[in-house]
Amino acid sequence: MADHEPHKIKTVRLLDFPTYDQRKKYLAAAHFNVFNLTPSQVAFDMCSFGTSASSQEQLAGQLIGDEAYAGSRNFEALEGAVHQVLGHTYVCPTHNGLGATKLVTSTMVPPGSVLPSNARTKLDVLGPMKIRYPDVRDHGATVFTGNVDLTKLKTILGAEPVALVGLQAFADGQNPFSLANLRAVRALADAHGKRLICDGSRVIENAWFIQRHEPGQADRRIADIVQQIVKTCHIFQLDGAQDPKCNTGGILTTDNPDDHEKFRNEVVVFEGLHTYGGMAGRTMEALARGLLEMCDEDEVHWVMHQTERFNQRLVDAGVPLERGCDGAYLRADAFLSHLDDHTQDTLSAALYLMSGVRATAHGLAGRDRMVPVQIPRLAMMNEQLDQVADAIIALFEQRDLVHALKATREGHWRDQLEYHWVYPDLEPYDFDTFPYEIHTLEKVGVLTRGQRREAIRAAGYNTFLLKSADVTIDLLTDSGTSAMSADQWAAYDGARASATTSDEYLAMVAKLREVTGYQHIIPTHQGRAAEHILSQICIEPGQLVPGNMYFTTTKLHQELAGGVFVDVIVDEAHDPESDFPWKGNIDLGKLRTLVGEHGASEIAYISFEHSVNMAGGQPASMDNMKEVYEYCSSVDIPVFFDATRFVENACLIQQRDERYRETRIRDIVAEMMLYGDGCTVSGKKDFLINIGGVLCFREDGDLAEEAREMLRVYEGNVTDGGLATADLAAITRGLEEMLDDRYIRSRVRQTQYLGKLLLDAGVPIVTPPGSHAIFLDAKRFLPHIDQDQFPAQRLAAEIFVETGVRAMERGNVSKGRNPETGENYRPPLELVRLTIPRRVYTNDHMRAVAEGIARVHERREEIRGLAFVYEPEKLRFFQARFEPVDAMLGRHEG
Ligand code: P71
């Protein structure tokens, strides 16, 4: 059973969770037919058609070779994918599944003929075309409920003018057929000289069901079963908006050149040319890639696991449903058994009113009595699905309160229906989860344990030297690793590049002024560039720079400017077991003593970091920021924040300081920034971007001018700092998204969830869990390894071998050597950082991480230390290489 997604999130689409009052308003305006709601009025849109998350390769393909009209290269890609995946020789492209059906009916179904099939949903198309459509599904079947009743089919073949024998894979979303039945249907069709056509839009789900339930099929691969299904049919059709994860598109494939010739001649009439069939080139490209990806064993198993889990939760609560291959099909009449009329639309309206979830029947009114609650393929996380299920269960428990909709407009099609309603008094269901869905994804590494052991050895036991592609869950850093939103990408794409003053620059400055309250905003390519400039203009050689624990690049730039970093963080920060909630605080006593000893003029400025990285992502309290600022103002020492993780700090203030529980994140941030004179920011963290930084000053225009002098020389224009204009646009958009309370809470809660799982498993971590990372305490994890044999470095390596998770050493190796003694510093904190990228991983990933680390913890006694085989002079942790001491001993002895 898959225990986490075999991919990570590449880009997200933001979700609104409309309030109860908004939902009432929207529903009335939609005439109580949820079809009329738009996605922005909906919390979760439970429809699997054209709503799939796509792969990053599909997304990239959208920009390749569009609109060639004749002989397009995208069509060649599509043909190649069809040959490889489906195995048919000929492919006729169509604009979607309807286009394919149209070509088949107009070339192969003469008036008056009949088309027996196992699916009822086809009625929506064939009914209006006046094609008779006898149901040949075996209603007595219990496992393969989509199987054809062969006796019935035989009778029809013998008695009626059958045009084609139709089959649908996972018919109506609920009924799979078996390979045995498929072969028998084919034989029967052959015996009567008829063609078998299969609509395989859900062929993957059907193949998975066969793998699971048909005797002798368990060891076959999905890809194999899919090809057998296709090759057993004369004609195969597929809607691109289903299994191939596209937003539209379709194909019609066959091995028969004469049939293909018919389709080719017809396609130009209704669809487009035979080499694009009414699809844009980009759709063909995405379809080709989608076909190549759709049989991926891990991906299929993950999707089906999600579906089964969702169904099971509902079944366990007694909700009446049919298990679907892509979700739950609620039995509306049983769900609202006290109502006579309009049960489907009433159920849809009630669920929306209560929770904002949209689930609705489509097509012809009265075709069936189901409300499908479909899961958009790969787009939702289990936590979200659990909550959708809980909303349905909560409605089921209150079903007696629901009265029936009253029809005010009738129609044949569901989208035509309109109603009036008296709102039932339902208890609203509020979502409390990640406010985004998955838009595109990136597959993650799938090395075996043996391959990982070899990879870490080749990387000199340094996780910085591993290849990302070999990593399954990458917790090296939260820096530059965020998943951008579709809105950020749109802003990025829409930006007009300029080497002068861009609109994007002006917008970013305005936004940052609003967020920080600081007047002078200077873009830099990333954080260390801002640190370089600040250090150079504000530090006189020999001056002290007190700060709340060092960060590697920050301290290095202070030293390069001739400054001396002095740690004035509270003592609790150095104690991984202390539960003090504000371990990021500056110890005002230490600071006063320092100033008393050296005089204020010897202090360049205070380097005050939010959510202190090296301490474990620990916050400073609002009171501490106030007190430090008050004191420093009184003695004329400037305070500069490292505001890299200021939103996370604000979130922890909201969580831990009673007085701020109801204060919005953006207001907490604004107050925090009041207590400083400026800041450096690595935008690659809280700003939700992959590159960028800023240097800001509250009001000191002279300092800002000095900084710009350096910027022009070292970085780029004063209006871009060396960033692309497009990156500025992504920053501005990210600044808004990071301040969404729902987002930042879900982010910090995810980190805390990982912390809790590890604590529950008895793994020693720095407490309390911080905001961006969980830090393992290597001294307690591996007490038998001396610090000069780098327990944290070894632990990070072992975690990779055990689980494919990449972490980062933050201990003796990172701290370096004391230049005077030449000895390692042996810092009090010897940690392994598990850093959570923003919007990239799900809680199922977190669970897998915790379980893997718990396994390492169980075998901790067998783990040995490391020795340097190569040690660079500066920032040695990046490039250092090691060898296990056990191996070296072995070598020396042998
Ligand atoms: C992190 C990073 C990236 C990093 C940097 C150096 C060594 C290892 C990893 C970067 C920060 C940071 C703080 C608080 C400034 C920077 C430098 N963090 N301040 O945590 O955390 O910013 O990378 O944009 O230049 O993995 P920059």
| Residues whose beta carbon lies within 6 Å of some atom of ligand 1 | 477, 479, 526-528, 551-554, 609, 613, 642, 644, 682, 684, 693
d(CA 856, CA 690): 32
| Closest atom of ligand 1 relative to the 693 alpha carbon | 24
| Closest atom of ligand 1 relative to the 609 alpha carbon | 14
Q: How far is the CA of 6 from the centre of ligand 1 (A)?
A: 28
Nearest CA to ligand 1 atom 18: 479
| Closest atom of ligand 1 relative to the 772 alpha carbon | 20
Mutate which of 477, 479, 550 to test ligand 1's pocket (most atoms within 8 Å of Cβ)?
479
Nearest CA to ligand 1 atom 7: 552
- pLDDT above 50 for 893: no
Burial classification of residue 269, based on how many CB atoms lie within 10 Å of its CB (0-12 exposed, 13-18 middle, 19 or more buried):
exposed
3 state DSSP class of 323: strand
Q: How far is the CA of 531 from the centre of ligand 1 (A)?
A: 11
pLDDT score at 170: 98
At residue 807 the predicted structure's pLDDT band, cuts being 50, 70 and 90, is: very high
Specify the pTM.
Answer: 0.95
State how beta strands 44-45 and 881-884 pair: unpaired
Q: What is the mean pLDDT of residues 433-448?
A: 96
At residue 889 the predicted structure's pLDDT band, cuts being 50, 70 and 90, is: low
Count CA atoms within 13 Å of residue 634 on its CB side.
7
Q: What percent of the chain has pLDDT over 70?
A: 99
Q: What is the mean pLDDT of residues 663-691?
A: 98
Which CA distances in Å does 483 have to 440, 475, 729?
9, 14, 15
Mutate which of 478, 551, 813, 879 to test ligand 1's pocket (most atoms within 8 Å of Cβ)?
551
User: To which H or E segment does residue 13 belong?
Assistant: strand 7-14
Q: How far is the CA of 688 from the centre of ligand 1 (A)?
A: 14
**Crossing angle of the two packed helices 527-538 and 552-560, in degrees rounded to 10:** 30
3 state DSSP class of 328: strand
DSSP assignment of 577-588: T---TTTT-B-H
d(CA 704, CA 94): 59
pLDDT score at 777: 97
pLDDT score at 722: 97
Burial classification of residue 29, based on how many CB atoms lie within 10 Å of its CB (0-12 exposed, 13-18 middle, 19 or more buried):
exposed
Query: Do 867 and 888 meet the contact criterion of CB atoms below 8 Å apart?
Result: yes
Q: How far is the CA of 689 from the centre of ligand 1 (A)?
A: 14
User: To which H or E segment does residue 694 belong?
Assistant: strand 693-697
DSSP state of 670: H
At residue 888 the predicted structure's pLDDT band, cuts being 50, 70 and 90, is: low
Q: How far is the CA of 641 from the centre of ligand 1 (A)?
A: 14
Name every residue whose Cβ is closer than 8 Å to that of residue 633 and which is 6 or more positions away in sequence.
Answer: none
> What phi and psi values does residue 608 have, to the nearest 5 degrees?
-110, 110
Mutate which of 608, 613, 680, 774 to test ligand 1's pocket (most atoms within 8 Å of Cβ)?
613
Q: How far is the CA of 556 from the centre of ligand 1 (A)?
A: 12
Mind listing the pLDDT tens digit for each residue in 311-336?
999 999 999 999 999 999 999 999 99
d(CA 894, CA 883): 16
Q: For all residues of the chain together, what is the average pLDDT?
A: 96
Token digits for 65?
């070779």
Q: How far is the CA of 815 from the centre of ligand 1 (A)?
A: 14
DSSP assignment of 741-786: HHHHHHHHHHHHHHHHHHHHTT--B-SS--SSEEEEEHHHHSTTS-
d(CA 382, CA 680): 37
Long-range CB contacts (< 8 A, 24+ apart) of 187-194? Answer: 188/150, 188/153, 188/154, 188/157, 189/157, 189/165, 189/234, 192/157, 192/158, 192/162, 194/157, 194/162, 194/163, 194/164, 194/165
- pLDDT above 60 for 791: yes
Q: What is the mean pLDDT of residues 600-606?
A: 98
Which CA distances in Å does 43 have to 344, 354, 427, 889?
20, 11, 17, 60
Q: Position of tokens 């192969």?
A: 108
pLDDT score at 113: 95
d(CA 574, CA 614): 10
At residue 890 the predicted structure's pLDDT band, cuts being 50, 70 and 90, is: low
Buried b (16+ CB within 10 A) or exposed e, 496-505: eeeeeebebb
Mind listing the pLDDT tens digit for each residue in 568-586?
999 999 999 999 999 999 9
| Closest atom of ligand 1 relative to the 526 alpha carbon | 24
| Closest atom of ligand 1 relative to the 476 alpha carbon | 26
d(CA 134, CA 14): 44
Nearest CA to ligand 1 atom 24: 527
Q: How far is the CA of 613 from the centre of ligand 1 (A)?
A: 9
Mind listing the pLDDT tens digit for each residue in 348-365?
999 999 999 999 999 999
- pLDDT above 60 for 892: no
Q: How far is the CA of 464 from the centre of ligand 1 (A)?
A: 14
Nearest CA to ligand 1 atom 27: 527
d(CA 291, CA 497): 36
- pLDDT above 90 for 2: no
Q: How far is the CA of 512 from the centre of ligand 1 (A)?
A: 20
User: To which H or E segment does residue 438 belong?
Assistant: strand 436-443
DSSP state of 396: H
Query: Do 827 and 773 meet the contact criterion of CB atoms below 8 Å apart?
Result: no
Extended beta strands in 205-267, E state = 235-239, 250-254
Q: Position of tokens 């959208």?
A: 62
Mind listing the pLDDT tens digit for each residue in 95-154?
999 999 999 999 999 999 999 999 999 889 998 999 999 999 999 999 999 999 999 999
Q: How far is the CA of 553 from the centre of ligand 1 (A)?
A: 7
User: To which H or E segment does residue 350 belong?
Assistant: helix 343-355
pLDDT score at 23: 98
Q: What is the mean pLDDT of residues 670-679?
A: 98
- The one-letter code for the residue type at 439 is H
- The one-letter code for the residue type at 32 is F
d(CA 439, CA 621): 36
Q: How far is the CA of 723 from the centre of ligand 1 (A)?
A: 18
Mutate which of 644, 694, 876 to test ligand 1's pocket (most atoms within 8 Å of Cβ)?
644
pLDDT score at 894: 29
Q: How far is the CA of 758 from the centre of ligand 1 (A)?
A: 25
Mutate which of 550, 682, 836 to test ligand 1's pocket (most atoms within 8 Å of Cβ)?
682
Name every residue whose Cβ is closer than 8 Å to that of residue 118 and which is 6 or more positions away in sequence.
Answer: 135, 136, 137, 138, 146, 147, 148, 166, 167, 168, 171, 175, 177
Query: Do 620 and 649 meet the contact criterion of CB atoms below 8 Å apart?
Result: yes
- pLDDT above 60 for 302: yes
Q: How far is the CA of 772 from the centre of ligand 1 (A)?
A: 12
Mutate which of 462, 525, 553 to test ligand 1's pocket (most atoms within 8 Å of Cβ)?
553
Nearest CA to ligand 1 atom 13: 644
Name every residue whose Cβ is closer than 8 Å to that of residue 637 and which is 6 or more positions away in sequence.
Answer: 595, 600, 603, 605, 606
Mind listing the pLDDT tens digit for each residue in 734-775?
999 999 999 999 999 999 999 999 999 999 999 999 999 999
Cis bond leading into 768, ω under 30°?
yes
Q: How far is the CA of 107 from the centre of ligand 1 (A)?
A: 64
